Structure 1
Amino acid sequence: MKTLLRLLLAALVLFAPPAASARPEPAYSYYEIGDLAAKRSGATAPALMLVGGGDWDYTAFRWFAERAGHGHIVVLRASGEGQAGEEIYNQVGGVASVRTIVFHSRAASTDPRVLAILAKADGIFLAGGDQANYVRYWKGTPVARALDAHVRAGRPIGGTSAGLAILGGTGYGAMDGGSIDSPAALADPGGPAVTLVTGFLHMPRLAHVVTDTHFARRDRLGRLIAFVAKARLHDPRAVGLGVDEGAALCVEADGKAKLHTPPGGHAWLVQPAAPARIRVGRPLDWNGVKITGIGPEGALDLNTLRVTRPAFTGVAEVSGGKLIGAPGPK
């Protein structure tokens, strides 16, 4: 009897179907809303929408939709799902469709379907999240080249929070595993935690600009000054541009920019007068850092960096890693 049982068990093992292999995780997730076959109702126009994070200003997003010819928007991100696309389509309105691609790995950046979607986009919006993932997944890939090609073709691009952080010619990549604050950045701007990224994207009039986000709420003026100090080691013309939460700096094709914001919001232009001396492991000392605030009543010309009707202006200095005399809204 025991022998018979052993033979039956052996036969079951021999003829059992092979175990199903684990399916690999998809390289990206995809969401869509609207009519993908609808014709664009207007012409596209070159434009940049620089959003500081937090709640959206729908007036700015409707400006963006108009520059996209009220056509087809593509949202790129590396976390979350399709909610931003639904908000653009349902709450902002004025677009034919919104597609969202959520990247899970660098492999998606060579996917033919992803690249085909980007090639047909009338406007591209880079959502918030962790910009380190954008650097890991997109830098040096066909997706980065597709974003540059989209802009060269005269179509608008925008970004919020992490999506704005990577639009500058030099960007804070957050590759240190966190989001450095102002005291830490000023204490050692040349150190390994200030992870700046260059040669990623090539946006018009942002080649010498370091961007930053969630600006006043997270007290990021000090860290942007530190970023600019380090950026000037390879780019003597580097300046900083911070945008407050809820605010959106909308840049037209001619480089003229207007701020859309709830009350109290600003964009912040950081223009040092001289190169910084940086030593690894040492705090920053730097004089003559001009700070200019741009409010909704003013304007910024990115061609000349001239601000008309500034909300505030002044000159700050950094001594021993401490920010002194920084101007701000009253």
Structure 2
Amino acid sequence: MKYSLLIVFLSFWLSVLSCGKSAEAPAKTGTGTGVAIKRRPASIGIIGDTANVVKTVNGGMVLMGGGADVESAFKWMIDRSGGGDVVIIRVTGTDAYNDFVNKLGSVNSVETLKIDTRELANNDTVANIIRNAEMLFIAGGDQSDYMNLWRGTKTGTALNYLLQEKKVPFGGTSAGCAILGGFYFSGESTSVVSNEALANPYASNITLYNNDFLHAPFLQNVITDQHYLTRTREGRSVAFLGRIYKDWGVLAKGIAADERTAVCIDKDGKAQVLGSSKAYFILPDAAKSPEQFTAGLPVIWKRNNQAIPVYEVQASVAGNGNFNVANFSAAEASGGSWYWWSVDNGQLIKVLQ
């Protein structure tokens, strides 16, 4: 009788332990704002329904300048997502965006994927989660990680599917914004400051790439920059644009956002600036190429102190200014101020037009 009771007792606890180790059981991860399912590789947290939904989306791009997130820009994207599935991707960090985004609007789910190896970036399930998204946002971090880990993988292909075919609202902040232009600065050696870039536009740490990663609407001939006024990056934008023109023969444009600021571009290419600081649209002119742009020498790009027209827009919470990035037409710009930028022996000069 004692042995029978012991067998029953052991059987019961073996059953409990077996159930606790089931592959079907969810595992809580991240900051506790969501639940990641073991069968969803790279997922570090999800809020909402893991079942895919199909919603009608209204495309658009958000170029966010880093620092504090711009809530109104996230709401702008959520409104265009149709209330579908939101996916956040990153290489480092937590699932903190899940709770943040979920509180800003009604969506089916918010999930964070931490894609920190090329194996994960080439995982079919990871790529499929991305392809099923109705909104995607790339968190801040290090853009060289994104380039090295995601470029040329199934994740990269899935991201371009969202941009080019599904046309979902798609954004990024800081490093996540840096890779959204067709041209981009990788920062793989180290960052570069304006004075350094203008003193020698061919410094070894100025590593630029040409349309080999993401292919966002209207941004193929654009290079972005972030933390713009906070880190005094205006001069390096001029150096980047000069390099693109000298090295590839492309008269690229620049779009830059300061911290706490986002440039929101709708599906027709009409941009507004949301947040609390400023954004810039930089439009080099082929008829006004640099007078001196050589390795080891400071940049000279004066053209009578009218080298590069730049449109400055002060952000607002609801959105301010209008600029058409589909054609970068100066005639269609409103709500901002035009400046001339020029460079005299490596020193940036800004003059109100």
TM above 0.5: yes
1:24-81 per-residue CA deviation (whole Å, 9 max, x = no partner) reads xxx84532112223746x5211211111111122121111011111111110111101
Aligned-partner Cα distance in 2 for 1:48–1:213: 15
* Residue aligned with 2:339, SS: strand
The match for 1:299 among 322, 333, 338 is: 322
Q: 2:162 matched to 1:162?
A: no
Contact 1:208 1:235 in 2 (8 A): no
Q: 2:265 matched to 1:237?
A: no
Q: Which runs of 4 or more aligned residues in structure 1 lie more than 4 Å from their structure 2 counterparts after TM superposition?
A: none
Q: Which residue does 1:146 correspond to in 2? A: 158
* Residue aligned with 1:298, SS: strand
Q: What TM-score do the two structures reach when normalised by structure 1?
A: 0.85
Q: 2:110 matched to 1:87?
A: no
Paired letter, 2:123: D
* Residue aligned with 1:242, SS: strand
Q: Which residue does 1:259 correspond to in 2? A: 273
Unaligned residue ranges in structure 1 (runs of 5+)? 1-26
Aligned-pair distance for 1:275?
Answer: 3.2
* Residue aligned with 2:299, SS: coil
* Residue aligned with 1:241, SS: strand
Aligned-partner Cα distance in 1 for 2:249–2:311: 21
1:159-211 per-residue CA deviation (whole Å, 9 max, x = no partner) reads 111011000010111011x2211111111112221111221111110011110
Call closer, same or farther: CA 1:56–1:133 in 2, change over 3 Å. same
Matches within 5 A, 1:219-230: 219-230=232-243
Paired letter, 1:65: I
Unaligned residue ranges in structure 2 (runs of 5+)? 1-40
Contact 2:128 2:158 in 1 (8 A): no
* Residue aligned with 2:140, SS: coil
Q: What TM-score do the two structures reach when normalised by structure 2?
A: 0.80
Paired letter, 1:309: S
Q: Which residue does 2:221 correspond to in 1? A: 208
Q: Which residue does 1:279 correspond to in 2? A: 294
Q: How many residues of Structure 1 are paired with residues of Structure 2 in the alignment?
A: 297
Aligned-partner Cα distance in 2 for 1:138–1:209: 20
Q: Which residue does 1:195 correspond to in 2? A: 207
Calculate percent identity across the aligned residue pairs.
32
Aligned-partner Cα distance in 2 for 1:117–1:44: 16
1:247-298 per-residue CA deviation (whole Å, 9 max, x = no partner) reads 1111111111111112xx1210111223335322222111201121023431
Aligned-partner Cα distance in 1 for 2:156–2:293: 31
Moved more, 314-323 or 302-311: 302-311
* Residue aligned with 1:118, SS: helix
Call closer, same or farther: CA 1:143–1:272 in 2, change over 3 Å. same
Q: 2:333 matched to 1:308?
A: yes
Contact 1:73 1:124 in 2 (8 A): yes
Aligned-partner Cα distance in 2 for 1:94–1:284: 50
* Residue aligned with 2:272, SS: strand
Give the alignment's Cα RMSD to 1 decimal: 1.8
